Amino acid sequence: MIIRVGLLGGDELVRRGLESMLRTLGGFELGSFKDRMRAPIDIALIETFGTPLDDTTLSRAVADPFIRRVAVFTWNHHPGLVDDVLSDGVSGYLGKSLTAIQLGRALRAIHLGEAVVAPPLGGHAGGGNRVPSEADILTTRERETLGLIATGRSNDEIAQEMRISLNSVKSYIRSAYRKTGVQSRSQAVLWAVNHGVRADVLEKV
């Protein structure tokens, strides 16, 4: 079963990042609000950051018969806002800091009728334990390569920085692309950014 997710608000980078994450997860697709009468939206993600106080986007989405569930999708994870929103018929309040795995779990729970706040207001699930992410499918070298690609380095520069051959760099890129499902350098940059693979944390990997 495919869960159709629609994003209302947010810029192009957020939209493309969300689409990439959903494609990586499998079982989801980014739906169109314009086509919702033909193919209803299972979960509408609404970006509310920066909207006026009298904005009615959320209430209109909740009342829309062609939208089954509504969730806020934002960086603004404030407890007071969460309480207000969930009391108005919204099914979830999701932070953009969620990894692909966490987002997938939250969306599936919302689809099943649960009210979801993620990450939890009291902190991250699991206490101090690191939550597994989609980036765990990559080897350390593949992660490092993607992290450097995300900084704009060329293959030659990556080879010099990692102190490996150019052929090895190309091999890591091919395997990383295959595992993540990306097909271009720009998609690789988006995937790395969305999954927390950054050059400034490579020494900790």
pLDDT (tens digit per residue) in 142-174:
888 988 998 889 999 999 988 899 999 999 999
Q: How far apart are CA 91 and CA 18, in angstroms?
A: 19
pLDDT value, residue 5: 95
Q: Which domains does the chain possess?
A: 1-116 (3.40.50.2300), 138-193 (1.10.10.10)
Greatest Cα-to-Cα distance within the chain, rounded to the nearest angstrom: 58
Q: Which residues neighbour 176 within 8 Å (Cβ) at sequence distance 6 or greater?
A: 138, 142, 143, 145, 146, 188
Residue 200 has pLDDT above 90, yes or no: no
pLDDT over 90 percentage in the chain: 25
Q: How far apart are CA 105 and CA 110, in angstroms?
A: 9
**Can you give the pTM of this predicted structure?**
0.56
